[in-house]
Amino acid sequence: MGLGHDGVDAVHKPESLLIEKIYVPVKRRKDLKPDVVRDIAESMLEIGQQEPIVVRPDEDRFILVEGLHRLEACRALGEPAILGLVVSAEEAHPKALSPQDAAAEAQRQNMERLKKLRLEREAAEKHGMAAEARAAPQRHAETTSRTGRKAGSGQPARGTAGAAPKTLSEWVKQQERTGGRY
């Protein structure tokens, strides 16, 4: 519902509307289900219309906002009028964005997409580094086994018989290369 002059929700009162003055947009007509119309018509015959439809004014007619099946049930029963609430266009389409809101929403969506791409790239890089780290000991072992030294180094390769490992992972690698148990 809309806001009254004091900022409080305005209460709309249902009023009797001529069915012939209510326009149903083409998109809404596609949603019409004859079985639902028949069931509502039967219910209206027994207990009357319980819930008003919602329309918005448009020059000399009303445009249906909500209540297609109720409207068509009244029409099928031959009723000349239906109970309805008349709301403003803003109330009928509260999700309609102003051009500034639409631009802000587009920018927000673009930022979300870029963030997602960045996170995917970072995850791929981490995965690539992990795979590279797993492959590095094998490449290191191949280099040392052929030359007995690290490539380009004048010192003995770490992990050879006389070198003491500096970290636990170097010790594990040394044990794996020498066939030792740990």
pLDDT greater than 80 at residue 109: no
- Which range has highest mean pLDDT (8-12, 62-66, 93-97)? 62-66
C-alpha 92/C-alpha 103 separation (Å) is 22
Six-digit token string for 168:
């636990």
Instruction: State what percent of residues in the chain have pLDDT above 90.
Output: 32
Local structure of 126: helix, strand or coil: helix
12-58 pLDDT per residue, tens: 788 999 999 999 999 888 889 999 999 999 999 999 898 999 999 98
| Domain parsing of the chain, residue ranges | 15-92, 97-146
81: nearest Cα among 21, 148, 171, 33: 21
Is the CATH number of domain 15-92 3.90.1530.10?
yes
